[in-house]
Amino acid sequence: MARTPKPWFRADRNAYFVTINGDRHNLGSDKAEADRLFHELMAVKDLPAPTVPTGPTTVEIFDKFLDWCEKHREKRTFEWYRDHIQDFLNFSPAVCRQPVADLKPFHVVEWADSHEDWGPAYRRGGIVAIQRPFNWGEKLGYIPATPIKHIEKPKPNRRENAVSPADWKKIKAHYPPGDPFALLLEFSWESGCRPQESKRIEARHVEFGRERVVFPAEEAKGKKRPRVIHLTPPARLILAVLVRDNPTGPVFLNEDGVPWTAQAMSCRFGRLKKHFGIKFAAYDFRHGFCERLLESGADHLTVAELLGHADGKMVATTYSHLHTADRHLRDTLKKASGDASA
């Protein structure tokens, strides 16, 4: 006697699944909605199959892509795609259960428009995250062509919101002592590390005796050499408290006790915008760190090493792009020309 299908929760996808007549269905991350969809699928499972092949559904392509991504890409890359795809599935469950050919560009645009807190860069990334599985599916032959190839996306404009000391003073004063988001921001302000680095720090990475955080080469960006993050006294103190409370796994956790995601951080920056009129981003703290060091007289090679760059080219490019340290540049020029008033 055949067993009755039952939904199960898959933690790595943060979603419920069920297999009916050999077909696996993604029911989304909400338990109540998953139960509703399950009963809906069970109600029609005995209907005769359509005589004309319909091809894979949108959710099937998503699942195949995520299975491939989990095996062949970095964990954080997989999680980035997974989170965006699951959000799209939750927004358009009916569309995602239809054949790929039924998916239209406006479905993706309406989903992106529903996130009013997304800036241009994050909106562009979200749209790309949904397009990518279908480009991949076309390349591998799962579908004849992607149905959402042509979607207008915001241009990838570079940001210029480097956090200044005055900005940081106001931002820090906005949060109560010990606020999890404030601790993450302060560590970024003090260390200049990349956002993905701060979110992945674990106790095993911290060397308190040498006042640094070390990611081994295989965990560092580029995987060519270890990434060393040097700690100021405030940054060291923050990690000492967090490591004590979280001896295993990521040490920077949000109010719910789970690691920070890009979407969660974007949401918090959106709330901050209501108070300051500017939507900062995590990378703005890294840009501010770079600018402060250069303004203090540090040479670009030293700054590049502290930022984890292989050479000083990126620092020179970034600093030139920010172009906000005019006084420092003028003073340097005067010193070079022998001006005693500099």
51-63 pLDDT, tens per residue?
A: 444 689 999 999 9
118-127 pLDDT, tens per residue?
A: 888 889 999 9
Looking at domain 165-334, which CATH architecture does it have? Orthogonal Bundle (1.10)
Of the candidates 5, 170, 13, which has an alpha carbon nearest to the alpha carbon of residue 79? 13
For range 179-189, the mean pLDDT: 97
Q: Please give the model's pTM, rounded to 2 decimal places.
A: 0.61
Of the candidates 164, 77, 163, 154, which has an alpha carbon nearest to the alpha carbon of residue 119? 154
Question: Would residue 135 be called left, alpha or beta, if left means φ above 0 and alpha means ψ between -120 and 50 degrees?
Answer: alpha
Concatenating the DSSP letter of every residue in 289-328 gives HHHHHHHTT--HHHHHHHHT-SSSHHHHHHHHHH---HHH
Neighbours of 329 (CB within 10 A): 15
Residue carrying structure tokens 């029911």: 27
List Cα–Cα distances, 162 to 231, 272, 299, in angstroms. Answer: 21, 15, 19
For range 152-171, the mean pLDDT: 83
Phi, psi for 44 (deg, rounded to 5): -115, 10
The Cα 51–Cα 49 span in angstroms is 6
Helix segments in 141-175, DSSP class H: 165-174
Residue 4, pLDDT score: 75
- H or E segment at 115? none
Q: Token digits for 327?
A: 């006084």
Pairwise pLDDT comparison (72 vs 332), residue with the higher score: 72
- H or E segment at 27? strand 23-28
- Cα radius of gyration rounded to whole Å, the chain: 24
- Is 242 in contact with 251 (CB distance < 8 Å)? yes
15-62 pLDDT, tens per residue?
A: 888 888 767 888 888 888 888 888 888 876 655 554 444 689 999 999
Q: Token digits for 324?
A: 């906000």
- Is 245 in contact with 257 (CB distance < 8 Å)? no
CA dihedral 81, 87, 92, 95 (to 10 degrees): 20
The Cα 133–Cα 316 span in angstroms is 36
Q: Token digits for 243?
A: 């490591």
Q: Token digits for 205?
A: 């990475």
**Domain-by-domain residue ranges, the chain?**
8-46+54-140, 165-334
Q: Token digits for 2?
A: 């055949």
Axis-axis angle for helices 180-191, 282-295 (nearest 10): 30
- Is 208 in contact with 236 (CB distance < 8 Å)? yes
**Residue 291 scores a pLDDT above 60:** yes
Pairwise pLDDT comparison (35 vs 134), residue with the higher score: 134
Residue 320, pLDDT score: 56
**Residue 66 scores a pLDDT above 90:** yes
